[in-house]
Amino acid sequence: MALLLGREFVWWSSVASYSLGTACLALLLTWFIRRQQTVWLIEKLPGPRSLPILGNALDVNVAPRELFLKIMEFCEYGNTVKIWLGMYPYCLVSEAKSAEVLLSSNKHLDKSRDYNFLHPWLGTGLLTSTGKKWHSRRKILTPAFHFKILEDFVEVFNSQSNKMLDKLTPKADGKAFDIFPYITLCTLDIICETAMGININAQGNSNSEYVNAVYRIGALVQHRQTRPWIQPDFLFRLFGYAKLHDEYLRVLHHFSNSAIENRRKEYQLEKLNAKENIDDDVIGKKRRLAFLDLLLNYSETQMPLSNEDIREEVDTFMFEGHDTTAAALNWSVYLLGCHPEIQAKVHEELDALFGDSDRPVTMADLREMKYTENCIKEALRLFPSVPFLARELREEAVINNYRIPVGTTVMVITYRLHRDPEQFPNPETFDPDRFLPENVAKRHPYSYVPFSAGPRNCIGQKFAIMEEKIVLSSIMRRFRVESTTRREELKLLGELILRPENGNTVKLIPRTPKV
């Protein structure tokens, strides 16, 4: 009997082992077939030669400036190009019809895996979330960018611009200096005050721990994105990067969490005062609502949001709304400094609005700054703050008659897209009149996407344009600008943000408005 049971056990063990082995083999075979199909489809696209396993990873293991040039070199193969980063396929597109397939779709909404390296900082907020969470957050946050809410921020834009002017005035002696840090610190002060209701005084203390952490974590994320061998967490720690990364995170999250806790307390106190009918004259003038206040109010009245939920969105707003705006403003200043005849038209428009007054900019003024806005838009065409947009396909797509398989990261190369001569004749020429309504109407709607486009377009683009118009007009009302670097001498850093490698060196000359 025992022998019989032993034999039966051995038989069932053999059957189980055989079944498990067969299942594993079937899964491996299925993976191999799918992998081969992916390789077969991707290899139909033009592109540079790649190595087994590494792909083109060694090609992009270069300094930031060389990385940008390398990606531009890849685009020379055509409007739809393949590269491999390790085992991962990428499809680079730089033509409006191809970009439309990706950006206009309600199916291709997932950001690429490269955004995963932002998760420790930003969590899965609006920028990095997918599926139901993204739809839910988008619905929650859309009212925060209503016209009436944005109008309240004009006061912040004006006051921080004035602080920047105080810093720039001593530099207006006709000597060349780098204006990039001045503008960047101004936008950082603006975003902190509008997002969290906190004045960190970055313009007065550029060496603050928080300011340094914001800059350094962005550079570290970019470094990791282009190096497959430090992307796995255990290798990231093994090579010593995680220690720095975690320290930056500690500073950033402590700052945000403290802000949220303090605002929650203030919010509860204000509710209590409102119940007790305490007059504004007693407790002081009702303060302006920051982005954080709107989230707290939503959490109290509609859907509960944890501190982590709120921090995700506040940190995302900080990340998306400061460096991008600083870059756009710097490129606008740079290009106006290269083109005195266009700068003169901006001065003429601003003088007609403000004369020799130093009064703050109003919403009515913003509506009249049509030429100034066109200059900003043209600067964003030539030098888009975000030079690449990336999505990971969850469904197969057909782009430029190529079948692009599931799992491929499709990158819209905005910098190249904005230079399509069919859409923008003489594309390297700085011409704000391209954005006159009659000229915009002639172009493909996806030929110009500085704020992305379609369902996942930038929710804060109106906020950004308003801020850029006020900060830029403040500079132009006070100064005449001369750029000292010629276009052909520019060295571009195509990191998370497109910036000049050596800063934005200009000369400022005080001016008297012509009235």
Query: Annotated binding site, which residues?
Result: 458
Helices 461-478 and 307-338 cross at an angle (nearest 10°) of 40
Helix, strand or coil, per DSSP, at residue 96: helix
Helix, strand or coil, per DSSP, at residue 341: helix
Element housing 389 (H / E): strand 388-392
Q: What angle do CA 10, 15, 19 make, to 5 degrees?
A: 145
| 378 dihedral zone (left: phi>0; alpha: psi -120 to 50; beta) | alpha
Phi first, then psi, for residue 254 (nearest 5°) are -65, -45
Look at the alpha carbons of 170, 171, 172, 174 in this order and tell me if their dihedral is positive or negative.
positive
DSSP annotation of 497 reads S
> How far apart, in whole angstroms, are the C-alpha atoms of residue 441 and residue 309?
40
Contact present, 96 and 447 (Cβ < 8 Å): yes
Give the closest residue to 185 by CA, choosing from 176, 193, 177: 193
Look at the alpha carbons of 180, 182, 185, 191 in this order and tell me if their dihedral is positive or negative.
negative
CA distances from 279 to 263, 285, 498 (A): 20, 9, 49
What are 186's two structure tokens?
A: 């101004």
Alpha helices per DSSP H over 197-275:
209-225, 233-238, 241-275
Contact present, 107 and 416 (Cβ < 8 Å): no
Give the closest residue to 336 by CA, choosing from 381, 379, 371: 379
Phi first, then psi, for residue 350 (nearest 5°) are -70, -40
Provide the residue count of the chain. Answer: 515
Q: How many beta carbons lie within 10 A of that of residue 440, not counting itself?
A: 14
Q: Which residues are annotated as a binding site for heme?
A: 458
Contact present, 346 and 369 (Cβ < 8 Å): no
Alpha helices per DSSP H over 96-179:
96-103, 119-122, 131-141, 147-168
Alpha helices per DSSP H over 339-397:
340-354, 363-368, 370-382
Give the closest residue to 120 by CA, choosing from 228, 306, 264, 247: 247
> How far apart, in whole angstroms, are the C-alpha atoms of residue 401 and residue 41?
12
The single residue listed with the structure tokens 């291709």 is 108
The bridge status of strand 505-510 relative to strand 177-178 is antiparallel
